[in-house]
A = this chain, B = another copy of it.
Amino acid sequence: METQYDFKRRIYEVLEVSSIGDISSRAYDRLMTVAIIVGLVPLTQKGNNTLTLIIDISVSILFIIDYIARIYTADYKMGYKNYRAYIAYIFTPLALFDLLSISPVLYIFFPVSTIISLFRLFRIFRVLKLVRYSKTMIIIANVVRKVKAQLLAVLILIIVYIVVSAMLIYQLEPDLFDTFFDALYWATISITTIGYGDISPVTPIGRFITMISALVGMAVIALPTGIITAAYMAEITKKKSKYEL
Contacts and interface: CB of A to CB of B under 8 A. Distances in A.
Interface string A161-190: 001100110111010000011101100111
B134 A153 contact: yes
Contacts of A46: 170, 174
Interface residues of A, number: 80
B233 A230 contact: yes
B215 A218 contact: no
A165 B222 CA distance: 23
B225 A236 contact: no
A230 to B, nearest CB: 4
Contact of A149 (B136, B172, B181): B136
A81 B3 CA distance: 64
Given A197-B196, A230-B232, A207 B224 contact: no
Nearest to A160: B127
Interface string A125-165: 00100000010110110011000011111111111100110
A58 interface: no
A40 B180 CA distance: 12
